Amino acid sequence: MGKSLKIQDMITIGVYSAIYFVLTAIASGAGTALLPGFSVLLLPGLCALITGPVYLILIKKVPKFGAISTMGIIMGLFFILIGRFILAIVPHIVFGIGADLMAKKGNYVDRRLNQLSFLIFSLNMTGPILPLWFFKHGYTQSLVNRGKDAEYVARTFANITWPNLAVCLIFTVICAAIGIVIGRKIVDKHFSTN
């Protein structure tokens, strides 16, 4: 097995990134329906609850450095394409590479390191929301440029407090820990994996 990503690997990464995106859309829709006003804060955690199997299968199918990072970058580019703040891609890159490095330490077969890798990767979904705290002025301007009115902007920032950022991050880590256990059970039952 070669260490560099091949065309077939990139196709596989693209397929699993698309599945990851679909699950993210489902989590987003469910969060918006069930927890209006707070769904943006809980989105990274809700995604982590249901994306564990996809992550583990990707690691099994493409156990090479760059696969996880590429999936993170693809997700970040998607959010930019749908109009999110440009700096939303930064966490996708940082946490994608961090997750890749963690899994690589165990050659992509160490269960514990793969689980830690998923916890790190799950933080990439903070990309679309971290600018709400750290780049409020720029984010507000991007909303105005997209035609959003003052009421929409006020609603967007209503729950953006520093304590809520802590809640978001803690919720994400807890959900990722649960999601990877669920993912491992599903993958072990239906796929031959490490």
pLDDT reported for residue 1? 46
Assess whether pLDDT exceeds 60 at residue 125: yes
pTM: 0.88
Instruction: Please state which CATH class domain 7-189 belongs to.
Output: mainly alpha
pLDDT reported for residue 101? 98
Secondary structure (DSSP) of the chain: --SSPPHHHHHHHHHHHHHHHHHHHHHHHHHHHHSTTTHHHHHHHHHHHHHHHHHHHHHHH--STTHHHHHHHHHHHHHHHTT--GGGHHHHHHHHHHHHHHHHHTTTT-HHHHHHHHHHHHGGGGTTTHHHHH-HHHHHHHHHHTT--HHHHHHHHTT--HHHHHHHHHHHHHHHHHHHHHHHHHHHHHS---
- Of 146 and 5, the one with more pLDDT: 5
pLDDT tens digits, one per residue of 15-67: 999 999 999 999 989 988 888 777 888 999 999 999 999 999 999 999 999 99
Q: Any idea where the domains of the chain sit in the sequence?
A: 7-189
Assess whether pLDDT exceeds 90 at residue 112: yes
Assess whether pLDDT exceeds 50 at residue 186: yes
- Of 96 and 2, the one with more pLDDT: 96
Assess whether pLDDT exceeds 90 at residue 104: yes
